[in-house]
Amino acid sequence: MSELLLVRHGETEWSRDGRHTSWTDKPLTARGEREAASLRPALAARDVGLVLVSPMTRAARTAELAGLVDARTEPDLREWDYGGYEGVTTAEIRRTRPGWSLFEDGVVPGPEGHPGETPEQVGARADRVLARIEGRPREPGGDVVLVAHAHFLRVLTARRLGLPPSAGALFRLDTGTVSALGTEHGRPVLVAWNGRVGTGADPAGAR
């Protein structure tokens, strides 16, 4: 592949409010739709060979508005399962767990079907995605675009760079942004990060 482009979906009500959002299928806000549409010119200028999208509506809608066609749904691109912290902010969690960090401490179990994930489990999913990309046929070529979620993409970035999943904490990722991973002298490198096309509003911050 040429470069791996990471697109975080546009703003939702919960991402705006800092609420951890994994399986809750919140739609984009009006601002989130503008953020997604603003990515269209930059992505149209790229030679895109493959588009993989999280199964969540907010990611699929972002891909559509950004002009990414022939997108394939990839279940492993879903967001970190936050378990019992679904819909809860970091500030609320730290009232009972001072100094809590998602990337270091993980989550508590949630309702049936959502036991939560450890950083290592999310890292394993990221490794699977990267292996599928690396194992795909070289034709057609072009960039690979992943449209997904902040915490998962941060872990995937860490794994691509040879770092542990917890290193995803180093990579803030705002809504409606494009980042790029590439290579230099045969080694994975960070090419561009958290790129936002002007939407008339300040970044919302990673959730």
Please report the pLDDT score of residue 202 as a whole number: 35
Q: Is 187 helix (H, G, I), strand (E, B) or coil?
A: strand
Q: 47 and 141 in contact (C-beta within 8 Å)? A: yes
Look at residue 206 in the predicted model and tell me its pLDDT: 34
pLDDT at position 1 = 55
**Number of Cα atoms under 13 Å in the Cβ half of residue 157:** 28
Rg of the chain (C-alpha set): 16
**Residues 6 or more apart whose Cβ sits within 8 Å of residue 172:** 194, 205, 206
DSSP summary character for residue 89: B
Regions of the chain short of the pLDDT cut 70? 1, 138-140, 197-207
| The pLDDT value given to residue 196 | 79
pLDDT at residue 141, rounded to an integer: 72
Of 3, 33, 79, 117, the active-site residue reads 79
Choose, from 9, 20, 149, 151, the residue flagged as catalytic: 9
Q: What is the pTM of this model?
A: 0.93
Residue 200, pLDDT score: 39
Task: Answer yes or no: 86 catalytic.
Answer: no
Residue range 152-177, pLDDT digits in tens: 999 999 999 999 999 999 999 999 99
What pLDDT sits at residue 199? 43
pLDDT at residue 135, as a whole number: 85
CA–CA separation, 171 vs 145, rounded Å?
18
- 74 catalytically annotated: no
Q: Where are the beta strands (DSSP E) in 74-203?
A: 143-148, 177-184, 187-195
The pLDDT value given to residue 136:
79
